């Protein structure tokens, strides 16, 4: 078309060469990806995420997806006239909230992710914390304020190890305790626990901002790299949805994960940019 230039083939080749050492180093490694935020709400980003995860599998990585469905759950709660409240980034949950959350997570969000991955050429399996007793759940320590929110006490990784050999596991953040009581489970927290239990090589958390901002009001205050002890020491001063993400990074690193990353999922192909380019994006937490 007149006036348009084709992309330089040399640039494409350089991009592939830049990715090559990362692909070699990560081959056979497990990467836990917490999927959420804008990447889950926008149709183009949903398709891009699916193709990115399928590519990871094709080049030899073992991706494990842990997802929530916060915006979808909120939408359905509002349609039903239910009150939506959060405490320190955690959804306050009564029995009705948990019921809606499970219906949305398992019946809609999980099924959609599995369908997209299958359609793009990699078979995947949808799971929740209840399948194969994957999650052992205990009540949240602040249950008096947040209600029926559960913490993952233990992850039984045998089921994941079996599935991940041939399939992409897609885990919905819901579970029950030993008595069969259902709980809402924060997806960030669950992803950190899964990454630590495997242990994964990397844990990646998709969010809607550039990463951890030292000053939430200043987009230029991005912390691009931090040690796990620095993050743990700063947690008390962090509020909102970033707090469980940083807490999950600490959990993952202390469980043996080599690095944890908080990246902007609203940027197309952010997953590949973080894994396979020299620059990377977002915040990286290291031991």
Would you list the domain boundaries of the chain?
Answer: 27-286
Q: Residue 8 — pLDDT band, cuts 50, 70, 90?
A: low
pLDDT at 9 > cutoff 80: no
3-state SS of the chain: helix, strand, coil percent to 5? Answer: 45, 25, 30
Q: pTM for the whole thing? A: 0.91
Per residue in 61-102, pLDDT (tens digit) is: 999 999 998 888 999 999 999 999 988 778 899 999 999 999
Instruction: Among 3.40.50.300, 3.30.70.260, 3.40.1160.10, 3.90.1150.10, name the CATH number for the domain at 27-286.
Output: 3.40.1160.10
23 pLDDT band, cuts 50/70/90, is confident
Per-residue pLDDT for 227 more than 80? yes
- Token pair for residue 100? 């809606």
Q: Which two tokens stand for residue 195?
A: 């990454």
Question: How high is the pLDDT of residue 2?
Answer: 47
């Amino acid at each position: 078309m007149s006036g348009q230039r084709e992309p330089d083939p040399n640039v494409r080749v350089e991009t592939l060469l830049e990715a090559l050492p990362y692909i070699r180093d990560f081959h056979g490694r497990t990467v836990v990806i917490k999927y959420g935020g804008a990447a889950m709400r926008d149709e183009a980003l949903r398709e891009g995420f699916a193709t990115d995860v399928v590519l990871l599998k094709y080049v030899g990585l073992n991706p494990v997806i842990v997802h929530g469905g916060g915006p979808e759950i909120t939408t359905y709660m509002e349609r039903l006239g239910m009150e939506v409240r959060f405490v320190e980034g955690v959804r306050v949950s009564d029995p009705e909230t948990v019921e809606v959350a499970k219906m949305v997570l398992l019946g809609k969000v999980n099924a959609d992710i599995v369908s997209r991955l299958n359609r793009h050429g990699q078979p995947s399996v949808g799971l929740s914390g209840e399948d194969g007793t994957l999650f052992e759940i205990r009540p949240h320590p602040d249950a008096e304020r947040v209600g029926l929110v559960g913490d993952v006490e233990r992850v039984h990784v045998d089921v994941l190890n079996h599935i991940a050999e041939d399939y992409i596991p897609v885990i919905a953040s819901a579970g029950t305790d030993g008595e069969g009581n259902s709980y809402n489970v924060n997806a960030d927290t669950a992803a950190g626990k899964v990454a630590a239990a495997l242990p994964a090589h990397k844990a990646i958390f998709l969010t809607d901002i550039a990463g951890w901002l030292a000053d939430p009001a200043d987009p230029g205050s991005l912390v691009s790299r931090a040690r796990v002890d620095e993050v743990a020491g700063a947690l008390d001063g962090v509020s909102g949805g970033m707090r469980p993400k940083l807490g999950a990074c600490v959990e993952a690193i202390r469980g043996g994960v080599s690095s944890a990353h908080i990246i902007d999922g609203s940027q197309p192909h952010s997953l590949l940019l973080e894994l396979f380019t020299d620059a990377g994006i977002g915040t990286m937490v290291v031991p």
